Structure 1
Amino acid sequence: MTVKTIHYLAIALLAAAVCSCQKDPSTSSLHRDYLVYTDHDTKTDFAAFETFYVPDSILIIGDNKQTLYWKDEKAQEIVATVVAKMQNAGFTRTEDKAAANLGMQLSYVERETYFVGYNNPYWWWYYPYYWTPGYWGDWLGWHYPYRVYYGYTAGSLLIEMLDLQAPQTEGKRLPVVWDTFIGGLLTSNESLNQQRTIEAIEQAFAQSPYLK
């Protein structure tokens, strides 16, 4: 073995020794971040929609069997953010639900965890919440034209966009053409929670450029 070869080997061994002494990257800081998941029906032409309707309150999903709504100033700020982002995308808000092309429904998971499978997308089937399919019209259930399977944990916000002008074929299933799941919003600081929620909604629309 030549001196030159020994020199290169020594450098390689030194590098390996340094790397072996380094700790693996810590993932403990990931809890400080929130998750923004979005999905949509790739066959939907969002440019074909003009108007949307959104309730003035947020549905609360928890362990209470009674219908609960979130209506305070923070809820209104969240709804207003959704409205603003929809308007920025070129849609017009209407107060006439029957005349709207799209329906926007917001849900906040307060405590429990729900799992959604695309085979049974009507995930609050056993809860008397006010935006059942009948809230939007003569519909029997939901239909996601794309695969949906994830969990909802405490502190999650869900926004679903419904196609209200879909043909009323046999079965009358109401298609959900876009949705977002926002998780990891809860901290010990209520003001920070609200700030993260607003930022996450803005991110959901930012990563959905097809909503035009």
Structure 2
Amino acid sequence: MKKLTKLFKGLTLVAVLLLSACYPISQEFVSDFDSVFTEKSEPDFDFENPAIQTYYLADTVIVLTDPNVSDTNLEVDLDQVLARVRTNMNQAGYTEITNINQATQADYLVLVSVNRSDNYFNTWWGGWGGWGGWGGWGWGGCCFFPPVVTTSNIRTGSIIVELLDGKRLSQRNQNIPEVWYGVGAGLFQGSNTNLNNRTLRAIDQMFIQSPYLKR
């Protein structure tokens, strides 16, 4: 999970840099800043093993947002998120094990997490400096007042889907290896419908760009 947290911070920084870059920029819509990244966490894992046929999907979405930093009301339908992950796993050819007592029999354990981050930055104008620093010329007194500081917030969010090696679930007190993960990140702005649709598209894209997951 530490690796995913670092990755999310990196994607957040990219989003901030894009928005703070010089204008004009080609992006016109919030969705233009969305990105999806997938990776095989365990390169030696045999994804093409025909014996891998089943999965167990955890019934709760893990909310990683720090309540002291950002409101935990994510404004995204978490039930739809789980349903879309389930749909993609089924379409990839896997059979879901729904009984939690049989979870250790599943080939994959599927975990879903969401995160949101508030990124604040300050801008100011006025004060000493600039062309206002040339006092005595008749036009230099314009800027000798306290600067005006404004604070803005760029809110970003991410959806994380992980596949864990279910065959090692029975090994108590042992780390269960993550073999694959996908991260969708972007600006957390727009209506609830817009946020939901973009989140669901990110989940679909994770599986599109990971064809080796198909049975």
Matched letter for residue 87 of structure 2: A
8 Å CA contact 2:105, 2:167 repeated in 1: no
- 2:115 is aligned to 109
- Equivalent position of 2:37 in the other structure: 37
TM-score normalised by length of structure 2: 0.58
Q: Of the two structures, which has the highest relative contact order with CA contacts closer than 8 Å and spacing of 6 or more?
A: 2
Using a 3 Å threshold, how does the CA distance of structure 1 residues 44 and 30 change in structure 2: closer, same or farther? farther
Whether the 8 Å contact between 1:162 and 1:178 is mirrored in structure 2 is yes
Report the TM-score when normalising by structure 1.
Answer: 0.59
Which of 52, 56, 79 is the equivalent residue of 1:53?
56
Preserved contact between residue 160 and residue 183 of structure 2 (Cα < 8 Å): yes
- Looking at structure 2, the residues matched to 57 and 170 of structure 1 have their Cα atoms a distance apart, in angstroms, of 21
Query: 1:1-212 maps to which residues of 2 (within 5 A)?
Result: 26-29=25-28, 31-33=30-32, 34-40=34-40, 41-46=42-47, 47=49, 48-64=51-67, 74-95=77-98, 96-111=102-117, 154-166=156-168, 172-212=174-214
- Relative to structure 1, the CA distance from residue 32 to residue 105 in structure 2 (aligned partners, 3 Å threshold; closer, same or farther) is same
Cα RMSD for the two superposed structures:
3.3
Partners in 2 of 1:206 and 1:99 — Cα distance?
A: 26
Counterpart in the other structure of 2:139 = none
Alpha-carbon distance between aligned partners in 2 of 1:160 and 1:167, rounded to the nearest angstrom: 14
* Counterparts in 2 of 1:70 and 1:29: CA distance versus 1, 3 Å: closer
> Aligned equivalents of 1:104 and 1:195: distance in 2?
21
Distance, in Å, in 2 between the alignment partners of 1:71 and 1:25 is 30
Unpaired runs of 5+ residues, structure 2, are 1-22, 120-154
Q: 1:170 to 1:97 in 2, by over 3 A?
A: closer
Unaligned runs of 5+ in 1: 1-23, 114-152
State the Cα distance separating 1:72 from its structure 2 match: 9.7
**For residue 149 of structure 2, what is the aligned residue in structure 1?**
none
Deviations 1:59-118 (A, max 9, x none): 1112238xxx999992111111111111111111002312211111111113369xxxxx
Q: CA deviation at 1:55?
A: 1.6
List, as ranges, runs of 4+ consecutive aligned residues in structure 1 with deviation greater than 6 Å.
69-73, 167-171
Q: CA deviation at 1:44?
A: 1.7
Matched positions, count? 147
